[in-house]
Amino acid sequence: MTLAAATNENLANLSNTLIYSAMAVYTLAFFAYIAEWLFGSRSKVGRTAAALTADTKGAAKKADAPAVTVTKAGGTSVLERPQVVVRAAAGARDVPDGPGAHGGDEQGDLYGRIAVSLTVLAFLVAFGGVLTRALSVQRAPWGNMYEFNITFSTVAVGVYLTLLALRKNVRWLGLFLITTVLLDLGIAITVLYTASDQLVPALHSYWLYIHVSTAILCGAVFYVGAVGTILYLFKDSYESKLVSGGTPGRFATSVMERLPASASLDKFSYRVNAAVFPLWTFTIIAGAIWAGDAWGRYWGWDPKETWAFITWVAYACYLHARATAGWKGRKAAYIALVAFGCWLFNYYGVNIFVSGKHSYADVGLAALRSVGA
């Protein structure tokens, strides 16, 4: 039986149809998230500015207050009032979280609920596309970059929906998530598309299910943490500008006031990255064990192995820096973004531009050249 005969073309074509359909539904969800941001009430935002203004005025009032005077029999004792400092470090500002993209408005909330419903529907359709891709060749759907991309985006949305169900306050992630998911799927179906086929011999192992699945989950969670980190940097700059007496633009105010406080975003990103870091450690160990079975050595400094280790070191540095008082806030956030950049290069850069034992990703160099042309 040939490899072509081993592929169920009907299921493979169905998978492609489902992925295209998921993209269509994700697009509808994208517009619903846009509507949530645009039509949500702006009358209930401004909490950050109000809180920081109150803190600044309160601090100034206390700083200008006279020293405390205590009169005693036979003399007067003057007690120095301690200096009041407005704390500006991440996690130190006493700022309430924004009301969300809908701005606390019923109409905006309706658009948001529609967006989430469409996201759930698109997730289920995309999951069907991944599943039928696997069934078309009776294997795990992680044999090439196209399959990795469609699985990665589906898992990333699944992580978002899980957090949404658990926390009820992460809908602000929706617009940013769906935007990048659409970009990811667009790259997958154009540049990275590979016809459904059998695995290369090195991938015929049960470790494929263990190692690659955990790598995909880790990447999806790292991605969610990176989005939170980027939004933290914007919100922290916004709060800092308010503290210094600046006046942010109208658009920036409308967006930033609806997001959680910078301290909340910083804590969210840290907890997400810290939670998945042990699983990334396991992913590297599982890959080493698989390499021992497939190639007779556990570690050979293959480009993929090297960059996986570099990513591990980068996230370890971030977690250490984040747990150290002097490196909280923006400095630690920059390290987190560098770490996620290492993960992205480990996937895209190593697979596309670097030769090694992991160069069986079937990128489709002809497609890449045509895009470049």
pLDDT tens readout for residues 259-294: 888 888 998 999 999 999 999 999 999 988 887 877
Please, are residues 93 and 84 in contact by the beta-carbon 8 Å criterion? no
pLDDT tens readout for residues 208-218: 888 888 999 99
Tell me the C-alpha distance between 106 and 159, whole Å. Answer: 26
The structural domains of the chain, with segments of one domain joined by +, span: 9-54+99-372
pLDDT tens readout for residues 5-40: 467 889 989 999 999 999 999 999 999 999 998 887
Higher per-residue confidence, 200 vs 58: 200
What does pLDDT average to over the chain? 79
- Determine what percent of the chain is predicted with pLDDT higher than 70: 75
Report pLDDT for 53. 57
Residue 305 has pLDDT above 90, yes or no: no
Residue 219 has pLDDT above 70, yes or no: yes
CA 15 to chain centre: 26
- With tokens 């190692």, the residue in question is 211
Q: Which of 159-168, 217-226, 322-331 has the lowest mean pLDDT?
A: 322-331
What's the pLDDT band for 48 if we cut at 50, 70, 90?
low
Higher per-residue confidence, 332 vs 363: 332
Please, are residues 309 and 284 in contact by the beta-carbon 8 Å criterion? yes
Report pLDDT for 78. 40
pLDDT tens readout for residues 321-334: 888 766 778 888 99
Report pLDDT for 92. 55
DSSP annotation of 105 reads -
What's the pLDDT band for 66 if we cut at 50, 70, 90?
very low
Residue 2 has pLDDT above 80, yes or no: no
Tell me the C-alpha distance between 147 and 185, whole Å. Answer: 10
DSSP states along 305-333? HHHHHHHHHHHHHHHHHHTSGGGTTHHHH
What's the pLDDT band for 116 if we cut at 50, 70, 90?
very high
Report pLDDT for 77. 42
Mean pLDDT score, 213-240: 92
Compute how many other C-beta atoms are within 10 angstroms of the C-beta atom of residue 153: 30
Mean pLDDT score, 304-328: 87
Burial 100-135 (b: 16+ CB within 10 A, else e): bbbbbbeebbbbbebbbebbebbbebbbbbbbbbbb
Q: Which of 44-48, 65-69, 122-126, 216-220 has the lowest mean pLDDT?
A: 65-69
What's the pLDDT band for 365 if we cut at 50, 70, 90?
very low
